[in-house]
């Protein structure tokens, strides 16, 4: 079963979805786990602040 907890753990599902897309793209480009997690956290933080 596919677990998309990232969509429901944020206050906005849009922020979670954006972080999911960013994480997939960066992982696809062979970035390190630290870079992927940092980028995802930054996207969520930024979008939660804006929204």
Which pLDDT tens digit goes with each residue over 1-51?
567 888 889 999 999 999 999 999 999 999 999 999 999 999 999 999 998
- Contact between 44 and 12 under an 8 Å Cβ cutoff? The reply is no
* Domain membership of residue 30 as a residue range: 5-50
pLDDT score at 39: 97
Domain count, the chain: 1
pTM for this predicted structure? 0.86
User: What is the secondary structure of 11-37 as a DSSP string?
Assistant: S-HHHHHHHHHHHHHHHHTT--HHHHH
pLDDT score at 8: 86
């Amino acid at each position: 079963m596919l677990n998309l907890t990232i969509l429901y753990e944020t206050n906005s599902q849009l922020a979670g979805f954006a972080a999911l897309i960013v994480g997939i793209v960066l992982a696809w480009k062979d970035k390190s786990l630290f870079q992927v997690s940092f980028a995802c956290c930054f996207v969520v933080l930024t979008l939660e602040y804006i929204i």
